[in-house]
Amino acid sequence: MQMRQSEQDGLSSWSRSYLERFLEDPGAVETGDFSINVSRIYAKEELSEAERLEATEILRALIPAVEVTVRQAMVDHLKSCEFLPQDICMTFIEDVETVAIPMLEFTSVLTDADLIDIVRSKGESHQSAVANRSSVSEPVSEAIVDSGNAGPVATLLNNDGARLWEETMENVVRLFPDSVPVQKALAGRPDLPPQIAEKISHLISDGLHFEMMARHGAAADLLEGLMQQGGEGATLELLAGYDRIEDADDFARQLYQSQRLTTTLVLRAIYFGQLDFFEFALARSSQTDVKEVRRVLELGAEPPFKQLYRKSDFPAQFYPAFGAAVVRLGPEIKMLQKEWNGESRRVVNRLAARRDFDRKGFEAALHCHGTR
């Protein structure tokens, strides 16, 4: 039954009459449209106190009597209602997930204690809904992490509106050492303390090291500490011990033939100033003569380097990071090319130590375009 327009602007004797008939014989009336309209009216602020009390009682009577699809529609109107009684809110939250989750994610009438009880007593879908709320307090975040479920925790960490104590972040490191989504989300937290970053550096993938740089703009010494950890960091340390240019060439050839010449390793190389290895690696990957690679790098211009990069095996999403580095290092590379005798190793300044290094551009390219 549809309410007439004149009756949709507020509750009336008609609604009371309708409710009386419904209570006398629920099967004799159509409750769907009526329930949805009452919910819509209830969410308005124009109702008088008496009207709102009447509407509250109508809602309490109707919710158990209508179908799931109707309750879903009711929640769409009521989920953001700031004056919804807590018992009605909890009735919806105790409903099926399609009804409960929207209410739980958007309602503002629940206290932190309510939310913590829900996190502890419900499953992952409810926990994720709490974790995705526009604002999540430290105690609620702690309860979500303590639940031990990686999905809700990753959702929480990806939520900029969630606040976490440092101790809670340490618990994340302890409880989820093998969860890539959780690692990625934690590394991307803008409020990640440096000491936590150091703790997770040995857990996260190579690409996520760059993502932490993108988020935090960490100091050069911390970045170096993070980047030097892991297998690729050890590889670069080994490379740094070689003096001859032929050693860098052999190193790049061996890695390429064994399929260990990874994108992140090559990017690390230019980041840490290993220019000659970078040239040989790019030459191998793009099947280009190293002399041509050197000519392109000496230009320090993005268009020719982009053409060269497209010929390589490196993923397109990494290009902004490579391109930014090459453009910034162009003048220094050109100078080294002129002074080089063709035998000794060449090393450019580490990008993190350069005042003219566009850290935000370099790191934003990695963060926005992905690291895999």
Pairwise CA distance, residues 52 & 41, whole Å = 9
pLDDT tens digits for 311-359?
A: 998 888 788 778 877 887 777 787 877 777 666 666 666 665 555 555 5
| Structure confidence at residue 206 (pLDDT) | 46
| Structure confidence at residue 344 (pLDDT) | 65
Looking at residue 147, the DSSP 8-state letter turns out to be T
| Structure confidence at residue 202 (pLDDT) | 56
Q: What interhelical angle do 138-146 and 112-121 show, nearest 10?
A: 10
Strand partners, 244: 344
Exposure of 160 by Cβ count < 10 A (0-12 exposed, 13-18 middle, 19+ buried)? Answer: exposed
The more confidently predicted of residues 294 and 22 is: 294
pTM equals: 0.55
Q: Is the pLDDT of residue 232 over 80?
A: no
Pairwise CA distance, residues 284 & 280, whole Å = 6
Which pLDDT band, with edges at 50, 70 and 90, does 14 fall under? Answer: very low
Q: Is the pLDDT of residue 365 over 50?
A: no
Half-sphere exposure of 163 (CA within 13 A, CB side): 6
Q: Nearest to residue 296, comparing CAs of 263, 262, 340, 326?
A: 326
Stretch 174-197: mean pLDDT: 83
Q: Which of 88-92, 263-267, 325-329, 360-364 has the highest mean pLDDT?
A: 88-92
Pairwise CA distance, residues 234 & 214, whole Å = 22
- How many residues comprise the chain? 372
Pairwise CA distance, residues 371 & 366, whole Å = 6
The amino acid that residue 244 corresponds to is R
pLDDT tens digits for 102-125?
A: 999 999 999 999 999 999 999 999
